[in-house]
Amino acid sequence: MRAGSVAKRLLVGRPLDSARLGETLLPKRLALPIFCSDPLSSVAYATEEILLILALGGLAVLHLAWYAAVGIVVLLLVVVASYRQTCYAYPGGGGAYVVSAENLGTTAALTAASALLIDYVMTVAVSVVSGVAAITSAAPALDGHATVMSVVFVAVLAWLNLRGVRESGRWFALPTYAFIAVIYLMFAVAAVRMASGATIRAESADLPVEAVSTYSGIALVLLGLRAFASGCTALTGVEAISNGVPAFAKPKSRNAATTLAVMGGLSVTMFFGITVLAMVYEVHVAEDPTELGLPPGTPTSTALAQIGRATFGDWHVLFYALQAVTAGVLVLAANTAFNGFPMLASVLGRDRYAPRQLVHRGDRLVYSNGVLLLALAAIALIVAFDANLTRLIQLYILGVFVSFTLSQAGMVKHWRRELATPAGAAQRTHILRRLAINAFGACLTAVVLVIVLVTKFTHGAWIVVIAMPLLFAGMKGVRRHYDAVAAEVAVAPDAHPHPLAANHVLVLVASVNAPSLRALSYAKTLKPASLTAVTVAEDPAQAEVLRASWEAHGIDVPLRVLNSPYRSIVQPLLRHIRDAPERSPDSVVSVVIPEYVVGRWWEQPLHNQSALRLKTRLLFMKNVVVIDVPYRLASARELAAERAKAAAEAARESP
């Protein structure tokens, strides 16, 4: 078997039959780590983002973290409740894009789609960089390699997802559940120690937090709102389940809604618990170590690392276990995007707003092209921002709340339309309750969207504000192209093939050899109006040698020699075709080109280069058809035999 094919099978696995698509559906125990690793892992840095912003105002304003945390908990509960309605109303998936398209129109749908696509790329970048930050908190010596480590992790995640959703879910389940278990173990240890009268303080509790300015009045309110907006990273990924309802085992909607509820309960309790411990332990964090009175360049631990170190005390094994599972779940949190992005991209491709290649499933029944596109985009972002979490986080969540708001507004219109249909009293009460949930969710997320936009715009969110319209315009452009092509190639219902007056065939030859004779034999089967062999002679002596060989073999096809004083092969042939007297609007010229087929990658550049240049030019000539007649060399025949043998073995092994 060819080396490349062997490597692909080892990395990705054997292809899966389309009939086995049902085997890839997810039970709730696997769906939770696959679709919810992002919102569950966000609790590891959401509290820290609140404290980072409040640190700008010094110790005096850190108490505002309580208010920000309560607001985020309420918002998270409302959004979870709202998206549960979406799971039931739209079991076909698609999330905000599909909901907006059906209820709010194309503009809203593409706005939601552009926001979600950007958010998914940001999710991969932020999650992986956060996981690397957890690793460097435990091992500061690795801090200078954060970018390389992040890129490697993204590549590994892409590889795992290319192997299939269900298979990747098994890899992701253990770190996710381990993270949940260790977080709750940390809460239990903290509760027992504090109940026994122990005083627990973070390593940074005695470090001063120097205010960069004096905050009061409106400035203080804006600082609090900015901290709240930063902490809203705890909501990222909530919409992924509504996008991926078709991936759940039956009953799909109920299983998706149940998984969403479990995720909401876990996220709320873990986020609020970490925030409580951070405040009780007096955790201090700052983007710049000098703000804590530390020398420039001093490595600083994350808020969760400080909480874990203070809670577990001398139990260093538990602290390193916390850092390990935190790093693992943060890196694997990107898997939420690796499931959401390809699914959304496939829906956009189906609707002709994205390249159609994104619609097709790969060997392992996953949207492979979407997985690869997401990985490349995230790697580019990580490299561009040098794996700096604080800079990346400023681009985050704006797109999240755009999609939240549009999705919930679309659901309001959906339920209002349902109310207009005849229904019993109990059914109307049920619809009204869902309408109220989505209406409140739409209003609340719209308010938060304004807060996020205002407070984060000058800190990097402006990049997203520019990127979304560009992506929107790109999707509209793709649709216009597909529509234009469809209109151009469309035919009337009574249309029939237009007869051609004649087919004039030219066979390109360089010498009398087996490929040339095979091409001539094929050309005769076309029964052309005229058949001519054509060669381009850079050297008259070579032309004479070819003529003599032609006559010696008694070939019954006339040979036309085109002189090329400037040693070009392509131009003389193009002129000959263009100026041929037999050409007419109702005739076609077929150019038959013998072409070597090789079996080794390094052989390809050694052959067919002139033919490739010629075909590229001929494609733009009207009424010209290019026909390749392959001639397999020994290496290609060996490769074909190996592939046939491998296919036979695979057929015997398959059930």
Structure tokens given for 243: 């996008």
Cβ(151)–Cβ(382) below 8 Å? yes
DSSP 246: G
pLDDT at res. 522: 95
Residues in contact with 144: Cβ distance below 8 Å, sequence separation at least 6, in sequence order:
none
The pLDDT, as a whole number, for residue 358 is 87
- Give the C-alpha separation, 282 to 54, whole Å: 13
* Spatial strand order in the sheet of 530-537: 559-563, 530-537, 502-508, 587-597, 624-632
pTM of the prediction?
0.73
Identity of residue 498: H
Cα atoms in the 13 Å half-sphere on the side-chain side of 49: 30
Instruction: List pLDDT tens digits, range 388-414.
Output: 766 776 676 778 888 889 988 998 998
E strand or H helix at 76: helix 64-89
Distance, in Å, from the CA atom of 463 to the CA atom of 483, rounded to the nearest integer, reads 30
Q: For position 1, what pLDDT does the model report?
A: 43
Residue ranges in the chain whose pLDDT is less than 70: 1-24, 94, 138, 164-172, 211-212, 287-300, 362-365, 389-390, 393-394, 396, 581-583, 608, 650-651, 653-655
Q: Are 335 and 161 in contact (CB under 8 A)?
A: yes
CA quadruple 290, 295, 301, 307: dihedral sign: negative
d(CA 452, CA 508): 65
pLDDT (0 to 100) of residue 166: 54
Q: Cα separation of 115 and 92, whole Å?
A: 20
**Coil, strand or helix at 505:** strand
CA-to-CA dists, residue 462 to 313, 465, 553, angstroms: 43, 5, 73
Q: What is the pLDDT of residue 287?
A: 67
In the 8-state DSSP scheme, what is residue 502? E
Where do the domains of the chain lie, and which CATH numbers do they carry?
39-480 (1.20.1740.10), 502-653 (3.40.50)
